[in-house]
Structure 1
């Protein structure tokens, strides 16, 4: 008999993709797909069961189908359909509590994979240049999806202590992007004009949705020789991008806002439909965040196919042209920056210069390709 895998959150594109991919694995016998909402996409040969993980019914599903592997994807920052932030938080936190309680009572469960986020590290001015899995945050996130992720991981650690016989894998994904990305940051980058925090140009990391599916698939199987698929792992593509580079490559102008007015940014963006643009998201766009992925490669045995820059390029292609052509946008920003430095006598900023050099190289490559 092969594995019996239960996947939560299958009504979203990511969950549907994982289900279809896992069904092709020869080691998997059956896939049980659960969600509170009927998925609009196909699930091929998976058995779909409409159940809210916040209800005790999830325990009956686990027991009835003798599930041995649980992949918990129903931890997200955006609502599905008309649900608001309150419904999202309840599913993230209360749903996880209910699911873990059901797993604890189900003796057949032997492996648990949980989708988390690098947002658990927060974003602060004195953060280390690179976060390791063991690096404590300078200050815990105070709200939004980041706080949900911190609470979820706390409950998962408690479950691991109560069921030491279960292999628990927590995957802290960087911001997920791609043609079908569904995240607060994807919503932000989809705006025609990007509000930014004046005087800050944060470093950002991304992970492609294709790589997310591959990493989840690796984590739910038995580890290969020399690897281990239990524990906590940062997952991100190689390299970083500055926010200014992202706006140029999208062809979207930015509107810098003074730091004391950052609360207004979140309120305004929520008004136009960016659901979880919490203070934590604003801090990310102020201070940025970069994580080490060495453990993902060396211990989990996973190598993402897309770098951060390639991930963003794929996302940008799906977005279509911005208000301004990227090369015109880059020239305009460079001219303004040079004028400001000339008038203000600003000193050198190596990080910004590196970012401009990288953009210049990218534009050169684009010109040669054209």
Structure 2
């Protein structure tokens, strides 16, 4: 029988978040420490995998449950729209490789995307597909109107990060999805910097495809990610990797019926990363129990504390923060004239305060379990 998910007694419980007693981890936009329940789920798998036949374990029913939990997390229509992928790159490449491209098609991205959301589209140049870049403004913003103006009747896909890794800027996806849909194209979203910390609603945002790995804001392990496909588009997208598991009669090994599963499972060609997905299940269950709205309310308070405290100490704040709708879990700050950003990040790490160096700036990304006292410790160190 599937084991129940753990209850949440406190948002800053050291049992649920062992990192609290080990360090001040403020780099959840990089690689997060796995939460306690995820670590326990993976350890339990290791114990069971070494002592039980797989037929007696609950791993596969738990992974089926993870599909439903993931659908709840992003408000998908149901588990049939969810596939499991090794990472964000695989999900984005599934769209890039799965569509039937025509010479002259265009893909709209920004000029500051994380490489995972650039190279799969740039690779399509060998098929005559053109990459159209929207420029980031000097204040770190990606203007929605600029993106919409770049969409033409040749636009097949707009692929954007919901939150930009180098600035922390969150973009409003709804008007973009409306514009690209009118043009006959699709919206693909790299959501690794938003799922798990911000409310993400694929239906209200009009998202067609979404990919995110679990090792950042979802507090899970690396190598276990999610891929969302709108139910009406599953069969249009050809699986870029064909294996045994994405066929309708996968368990009937001698029946070689070459016919893909009709839902998002068609993008799972072979054996899952079982321990990783079990860890991700525990982590997503924890986030859902806390509630994503509550998570974001807490993180917004912590990031405001970072931004205001850094500004008081003479640091520039690069992240757009005037509008709540543009804020995210990351605050990117500029080092003072007398400092070098890389040296500052190193000095903080020597005090067990972990932030990230990105594009010559310092990125601070707390999660909901971090405490105001930890933010004050960062500010004092600055």
TM bin, normalised by shorter chain, reads: 0.3 to 0.5
Larger relative helix fraction: 1
What TM-score, normalized by structure 2, do the two folds share?
A: 0.32
Q: RCO (CA 8 Å, sep 6+): is it higher in 1 or 2? A: 2
